[in-house]
Structure 1
Amino acid sequence: MAVAGGAMTRGPRVLLRQIREAMADGGPAQGRLDVVVRTIAQSMVAEVCSIYLRRASGELELFATQGLNPEAVHATRLKPGEGLVGEVARLAQPISLSDAPSHPSFAYRPETGEDPYHAFLGAPLLRGGRAIGVLVVQNRAERRYDEDEVEDIQTIAMVLAETVASGELLAQEELRDVEVAPHRPERIKGQRFAEGLAYGHVVLHEAPLPPERLLAENQQVEEIRLREGLNTLKASIDALLDGGQGKLAGQSFEVLETYRMFADDRGWNRSLEEAVRGGLTAEAAVDRVRNEHRARFAQARDPYIKERLHDFEDLANRLLRVLGGETPGQRQLPDDAILVARNLGPADLLEYPRDCIRGLLMEEGSAASHAAIVARALQIPCVGRLQGVRDRLSEGDLVIVDGETGEAHLRPRPDMLESVRSRMAVRSQRQAEFAKLKDTPAVTVDGTRITLLTNAGLAVDLENLDATGAEGIGLFRTEFQFMVSEELPRLNTQTALYKLVLDAAGDRPVTFRTLDIGGDKVLPYMETTEREENPALGRRAIRLGLDRPSLLRLQLRALLAAGAGRELRVMFPMIATVDEFRAARELVDVECEWARRRGRPLPALLRVGAMIECPSLLWHLDALLPLTDFVSVGSNDLFQYMYAADRTNPLVSDRYDPLSPPALRALQSIQKACAETGTPVSVCGELAGRPLEAFALICLGFTRLSAPAGGVGPVKRMILSTDLTTARRGMDKLLGSSAGSVRNEIESLARKLNVGL
């Protein structure tokens, strides 16, 4: 680039080839790095070119420079976020300034001798969407670098990032303390998303690109490869859309429609084409554009924007596999695959071969996220909130997923692996015991019958009814169908899904929860300009349905049509006042009358219920219960609202214990009120799927529990071993405790009574 502004003197492709030649040289690592910065400086007509790499401490160390004081190399270190270089790394975005010293983030280091230089252009070395270093060029004269120059330095930085991380540019001894993928055993603490134990070999949900495929030998060939790859990608999705109606579940089918729309996104396609014209292979272009999306969207707080990043991530993965010659939809996995991802959409897991996936590790997400719910439905051990796990692993690494402790063990030692194998053998024996209990009624030792149901929200969940012996679906989440679609699902589409669920259940009851959207569940076709400071306490669930009655009425119409001639159970979420339930039930009556006037068949038996998950209802049950046909306790939300602690926030989610006197007294008051009015009541939160917590629930008098599929067997075993009359006497004594938690006391009581936990 000329000092006055202009293109590279030799073009980016020539420069990239020169960098490749420097990397291939067999000389010392530092010498090769010095050649690289000198080559970049000459080609870009820059008086300074420097490379900083992130150390394991987070500091950015000057590794090589052309133009600054050579004695500053390996001596100058910038703290995280320090100076303009630190700012580039923090933002994971390029920074271009005509007068760097005047910028508030400028930090002067006298040992570098950079005070004469004004123009500054820095680009992050991105690996996995995270900055592992920074590439900088500087000039004395004040000038603004143009868009082409920014584009060029980003391309160079992308090449350097991959080669540094792979060890191609620097030997492993130089990289020993640099924060790239390590090779030693590590343990990372996260959060349990789905119970279970597994070990196997890493499959990266977004596999890194091999360095040897970064630079284009022939630009026209790469443009053709990219165009053909995009066409193949779109055609494969079209083929599934055209022929997949009978093969795919409703949610999986609709997510394909979303992917197809994003595959046509002009901005995404244009970015890919420009990257190829800049000298990259088609694969490198996809990887670069993906990294840029990650870095840009990582700054966003809007849930909808972050969900859109997942769509582009998935498209990039698919396109990379197409470019690599893989047949779409037929990705080969080892039979002991541990899937590692930053995050997953609700349909991602369903598109991998289920028999090959042993476990799942995620950097982001929450136990309430849809990927976690899918993992539990498929009984795949899952641990999330594992900060940095994606960049600490390489494809094929051995890893342990501990869904009991919420930990991941990377490259475990032999003794750790043997310990996990022993624990898995014990779990396997227990699973065999649970399978034998599948057809055994859940009756306590002293003869109390407990109804065990399961939670669902995906078509795949329906298989669990027979596999677990569950007596029905106590909670079917209807929002998945809406969340994976880019437009409001039509009446016939909704009706078809609800019929599918009822047909699969047969004569077993199904309780449909109406739309629980809003808050962190944003629908693209319902996005508004209004931003809520606290969306979890904002316009969501029944509030949104009542504010937009046409949306709720459409869903009720579909449910009534699907339930024609049979029993239909409909439940409204997040009811906070009795008036809200009255208004919601009136909409049911309106839709029933609408169907009658047109001679359309109605359900043979219609039951309408409410979820008790807002603490306000605890003091108004006398008014609510006579209006309902049944109620269900949503313990997840009830307790997070009681304790003002977001259950998806790792900073506060462990601040309260549901086995505490206040929580247990609240549950007891609900059960007693329902017993006095004869109102059927169930508990459908995560609480119902854990044996110790379920033991507490039946001791409080609850006889209807709806658990995740993996919890049905363990809870049934607990029930069959419990003398409920004796257990209730012991529980009554604990409710008056002044302790913050009585978990240990409840566990001691259960073990004293030989309850199978």
Structure 2
Amino acid sequence: MLNTLRRIVQEVNAARDLPAALDIIVQRVREAMGTEVCSVYLLDPDTSRYVLMATEGLNKSAVGLVTLASNEGLIGYVGTREEPVNLEDAAVHPKFRYFAETGEERFASFLGVPIIHHRRVMGVLVVQQKARRQFDEGEESFLVTMSAQLAGVIAHAEATGAIRGLGWGGEVVQDTRFDGVPGAPGVAIGQAVVILPPADLNAVPDKPAVDIDAELALFRTALESVRRDMQTLSSKLASQLRPEELALFDVYLMMLDDAALGNEVVAIIRTGQWAQGALREVISDHVGRFELMDDPYLRERATDVKDLGRRILAYLQEAGRQDRVYPEQTILVSEEITPVMLGEVPKEKLVGLVSVLGSGSSHVAILARAMGVPTVMGAVDLPYTRVDGLELIVDGNHGEVYSNPSQELRRHYLELVREERELVQGLEKLREVPCITTDGHRMPLWVNTGLLADVARSLDRGAEGVGLYRTEVPFMIQDRFPSEKEQQATYREQLEAFHPLPVTMRSLDIGGDKALTYFPIKEDNPFLGWRGIRVTLDHPEIFLVQTRAMLKASHGLNNLRIMLPMISSIFEVEDALHLIHRAYSEVLDEGVDVPMPPVGVMIEVPAAVYQARELVQMVDFLSVGTNDLTQYLLAVDRNNPRVADLYHSLHPAVLQALVKVAHACRDAGKPMSVCGEMAGDPAAAVLLMAMGCDVLSMNATNLPKVKWLLRQISLEDAKALLDEVLLLDNPHLVQSTLHLALKNMGLGKVLSQR
């Protein structure tokens, strides 16, 4: 049965359009079930009527002509119930509706199952027979399974038609929307340019090398060609980005170094594998490790490695390069957009980006924000191979892409572009002023950093410190653990760049979800696995070296703060503090005179929320990572567009957890900060301030908007808003209530719509 299902789905996937796909479905399902009739009815969202779109066994002339209201007949009954209807004699059912055009009075038994995609009833799949009998459980299960498999296929075929401006009934449609996740804020209107990968590594077969030396020479030539490409693209981007922001290309060049990827490929070639097969093995191995990682910022490196592998393969295959002409308003579209692709488009022509895969934490999203290019990531339902040359609207604020825009929609977005431009120009004036509410409450605004590229951008926007520095980055770009001196140099750069402002360094956050190439960990469930503080406590030699490097880096600056990730119990903090004090003593014994820095705990898992009172007594501060906390409280992967609607940081459970942590900090007289995305949402920042949060740390891009809003409101009004929303039981109601109240105060211009 599974093989039958697989064959049908594959055949339907290969269909040229929706009508062809539906014809294949009714033919193959009828054959597989041995029934006399199989039909598909689709629900027209514009008319709310079911239309007979394909049949095998009824009169073909009825296709497209027979329609039923959404609650009419057995078809409407199946759709309304959203579950199978299995009848021995359909004609006696009170919902039965006879259509002479179909000739279905000859068929007694009826089995109908709904076709549902993302909670939307798309249609009904029906089988019928002349003989009176009830279809058995196996037959019903097969049809239900087939319907579930086909829902996505039909949705894709429907989207493919819609992208060209045609509904499945052949009618003209406009303003077709595809949902993704926000990558970089802003709106863009332009012409799509689809970039396909230059080569397919997965298609490379194993093949013995006839001449190993020749294969080695071929590979080294290809490697050098890609190195030159990287350097050329880096030079092209230099006019748009600060030098620090170009550091990412140095990471790429390190990967291409003979001591990194190059060396591994050479070793496999020497065993007798041809260059292309050796490259495939090495790239696949690295990609597999990165894709297992939980941290989206680091997991996106799989895309970078894949892109490099494809480019090397393109040279190995002598694929060469095609000269492409880019339109004046280019929107770059690809299955996986990489930072390198950005450099291939002239800077004055690139207005927007759309990536089918990836998240808002990917490297390309980070660079897009730095360049001010509106971006949508994770547009999984977009049939991207069909949009080349079409006009698109990219809404990076809400993660939406529109094709076939109407004049009305285009005017609406042009007005948004104008308003955004005026807003940004106005907010630039706030850089030097402090964030103080109308009734005198001071609210420090810090930034989250990872790349050195973030430093200048953060200071430009008036950041008062760093609430989260991800120390994993120097570990990710090497093929071994960095030495104490190497780490010290990296940390010193960050501390000096922000001095005298405080810099909060998170201790190494790796594990089953962030396996290093030289420290592989394989787990069935990396989200709940060996990660963060659990790894570094099990390997004190790693933790001690890193802590000593941080302490030495702070010599003479004294602006270091240390933060412990993924804490879930008291004993983890006790063990970590013991190691920190040991490292501190060792540094003093070496003659480096530094004060003991403040140490804090990240509140990221529910267990830490319920132990907040005990934890805060042990350390100097608590910092809430709202991204992971929301993810773990709601059991929702925040980077999965399929469940994006369930991930909501204003969920009542999240708000109650934050209040609990705030109370614990206030009672202990210790500071509480928030370093998740929630802190960068101006409306949510109002609630966090009202809870008693002492520091908000966010992406530098959002800092001016948060500062503007908090400077326009009083702490008293913020507390009143918090009291009101804490009584609500729905995250969407919380958001709409909050936004409405702020808009009524005249503060709506910096609010997102989600």
1:195 aligned to which of 185, 194, 212? 185
> In structure 2, what is the equivalent of residue 406 of structure 1?
399
SS at match of 1:742: helix
* AA aligned opposite 1:407: E
> In structure 1, what is the equivalent of residue 664 of structure 2?
673
Task: Report if the CA contact (8 A) 2:288-2:302 is conserved.
Answer: no
Task: From the superposition, tell whether residues 689 and 239 of structure 1 become closer, same or farther in structure 2 (CA, over 3 Å).
Answer: closer
Task: From the superposition, tell whether residues 626 and 300 of structure 1 become closer, same or farther in structure 2 (CA, over 3 Å).
Answer: closer
- Determine whether 1:495 maps to 2:494: no
Task: From the superposition, tell whether residues 749 and 412 of structure 1 become closer, same or farther in structure 2 (CA, over 3 Å).
Answer: closer
Cα distance in structure 2, aligned partners of 1:208 and 1:315: 10
- Determine whether 1:557 maps to 2:524: no
Cα distance in structure 2, aligned partners of 1:410 and 1:253: 37
Task: Report if the CA contact (8 A) 2:650-2:734 is conserved.
Answer: yes
- Determine whether 1:705 maps to 2:696: yes
2:627 aligned to which of 626, 636, 650? 636
1:258 aligned to which of 241, 255, 258? 255
> In structure 1, what is the equivalent of residue 707 of structure 2?
716
> In structure 1, what is the equivalent of residue 640 of structure 2?
649
> In structure 1, what is the equivalent of residue 204 of structure 2?
none
Task: Report if the CA contact (8 A) 1:366-1:648 is conserved.
Answer: yes
1:467 aligned to which of 436, 451, 460? 460
Within-5 A mapping of 1:446-457: 446-457=439-450
SS at match of 1:501: helix
| Cα shift readout 1:379-435 (whole Å, capped 9, x = no counterpart) | 432212212647434655443221123111246455543332221111111111111
| Structure 1 unaligned regions, length at least 5 | 1-49, 63-73, 84-175, 210-221, 276-284
Task: From the superposition, tell whether residues 513 and 250 of structure 1 become closer, same or farther in structure 2 (CA, over 3 Å).
Answer: farther
> In structure 2, what is the equivalent of residue 142 of structure 1?
none
Cα distance in structure 2, aligned partners of 1:308 and 1:459: 20
SS at match of 2:352: strand
The Cα shift of 1:458 comes to: 0.8
Cα distance in structure 1, aligned partners of 2:651 and 2:223: 58
The Cα shift of 1:479 comes to: 1.6
* AA aligned opposite 1:583: D
- Determine whether 1:570 maps to 2:569: no
Task: From the superposition, tell whether residues 646 and 183 of structure 1 become closer, same or farther in structure 2 (CA, over 3 Å).
Answer: closer
Cα distance in structure 2, aligned partners of 1:661 and 1:556: 37
- Determine whether 1:728 maps to 2:728: no
> In structure 1, what is the equivalent of residue 582 of structure 2?
590
> In structure 1, what is the equivalent of residue 16 of structure 2?
55
Task: Report if the CA contact (8 A) 2:616-2:670 is conserved.
Answer: yes
Task: Report if the CA contact (8 A) 2:300-2:362 is conserved.
Answer: no
Cα distance in structure 2, aligned partners of 1:332 and 1:637: 42
Task: Report if the CA contact (8 A) 2:289-2:515 is conserved.
Answer: no
Task: Report if the CA contact (8 A) 1:250-1:481 is conserved.
Answer: no
Task: Report if the CA contact (8 A) 1:199-1:401 is conserved.
Answer: yes
Instruction: Pick which of 696-705 and 179-188 moved more.
Output: 179-188
The Cα shift of 1:54 comes to: 3.1
Task: From the superposition, tell whether residues 199 and 603 of structure 1 become closer, same or farther in structure 2 (CA, over 3 Å).
Answer: farther
* AA aligned opposite 1:502: L
Instruction: Pick which of 552-561 and 725-734 moved more.
Output: 725-734
The Cα shift of 1:437 comes to: 1.4
Task: Report if the CA contact (8 A) 1:358-1:381 is conserved.
Answer: yes
State the aligned residue count. Answer: 576
Cα distance in structure 2, aligned partners of 1:694 and 1:561: 35
Within-5 A mapping of 1:108-507: 183-184=164-165, 186-206=176-196, 230=222, 232-233=224-225, 236=228, 252-260=249-257, 261-263=260-262, 265=265, 302=292, 310-317=304-311, 320=314, 336-343=329-336, 357-376=350-369, 378-387=371-380, 389=382, 391-393=384-386, 397-410=390-403, 412-507=405-500
Cα distance in structure 1, aligned partners of 2:183 and 2:159: 31
Instruction: Pick which of 648-657 and 616-625 moved more.
Output: 648-657
The Cα shift of 1:729 comes to: 2.7
Cα distance in structure 2, aligned partners of 1:316 and 1:181: 31
Task: Report if the CA contact (8 A) 1:399-1:412 is conserved.
Answer: yes
| Cα shift readout 1:247-297 (whole Å, capped 9, x = no counterpart) | 88665423322233435625998999979xxxxxxxxx99xx999999x98
The Cα shift of 1:201 comes to: 3.9
* AA aligned opposite 1:253: D
> In structure 1, what is the equivalent of residue 66 of structure 2?
none
The Cα shift of 1:713 comes to: 1.2
Task: Report if the CA contact (8 A) 1:201-1:336 is conserved.
Answer: yes
Task: Report if the CA contact (8 A) 1:61-1:75 is conserved.
Answer: yes
Cα distance in structure 2, aligned partners of 1:204 and 1:705: 39
Cα distance in structure 2, aligned partners of 1:331 and 1:755: 45
Cα distance in structure 2, aligned partners of 1:178 and 1:363: 14
Task: From the superposition, tell whether residues 421 and 753 of structure 1 become closer, same or farther in structure 2 (CA, over 3 Å).
Answer: closer
* AA aligned opposite 2:15: R
Instruction: Pick which of 434-443 and 371-380 moved more.
Output: 371-380
| Cα shift readout 1:701-747 (whole Å, capped 9, x = no counterpart) | 22411111121111111111102213313422432344564222222
Instruction: Pick which of 649-658 and 453-462 moved more.
Output: 649-658
The Cα shift of 1:604 comes to: 4.3
Cα distance in structure 1, aligned partners of 2:12 and 2:394: 37
Cα distance in structure 1, aligned partners of 2:615 and 2:289: 44
Task: Report if the CA contact (8 A) 1:721-1:754 is conserved.
Answer: no
Cα distance in structure 2, aligned partners of 1:625 and 1:75: 61
Cα distance in structure 2, aligned partners of 1:398 and 1:333: 13
The Cα shift of 1:55 comes to: 2.2
- Determine whether 1:533 maps to 2:494: no
SS at match of 1:442: coil
When normalised by structure 2's length, the TM-score is 0.66
The Cα shift of 1:347 comes to: 7.7
* AA aligned opposite 1:259: L
Task: Report if the CA contact (8 A) 2:677-2:699 is conserved.
Answer: yes
The Cα shift of 1:334 comes to: 6.4
> In structure 1, what is the equivalent of residue 602 of structure 2?
611
Task: Report if the CA contact (8 A) 1:180-1:392 is conserved.
Answer: no
The Cα shift of 1:680 comes to: 1.5
The Cα shift of 1:476 comes to: 1.2
SS at match of 2:615: helix
* AA aligned opposite 1:686: E
SS at match of 1:632: strand
* AA aligned opposite 2:16: R
Task: From the superposition, tell whether residues 369 and 234 of structure 1 become closer, same or farther in structure 2 (CA, over 3 Å).
Answer: closer
Task: From the superposition, tell whether residues 375 and 331 of structure 1 become closer, same or farther in structure 2 (CA, over 3 Å).
Answer: same
Task: From the superposition, tell whether residues 358 and 658 of structure 1 become closer, same or farther in structure 2 (CA, over 3 Å).
Answer: same
When normalised by structure 1's length, the TM-score is 0.65
| Cα shift readout 1:149-207 (whole Å, capped 9, x = no counterpart) | xxxxxxxxxxxxxxxxxxxxxxxxxxx99979975475322222332212334444545
Q: Percent identity?
A: 30
Cα distance in structure 1, aligned partners of 2:595 and 2:721: 43
Cα distance in structure 1, aligned partners of 2:627 and 2:668: 25
* AA aligned opposite 1:195: P
- Determine whether 1:755 maps to 2:747: yes
Task: Report if the CA contact (8 A) 1:55-1:61 is conserved.
Answer: no
Task: Report if the CA contact (8 A) 2:464-2:501 is conserved.
Answer: yes
The Cα shift of 1:345 comes to: 6.0
Cα distance in structure 2, aligned partners of 1:52 and 1:737: 45
The Cα shift of 1:664 comes to: 1.8
SS at match of 2:636: coil
Task: Report if the CA contact (8 A) 1:259-1:311 is conserved.
Answer: no
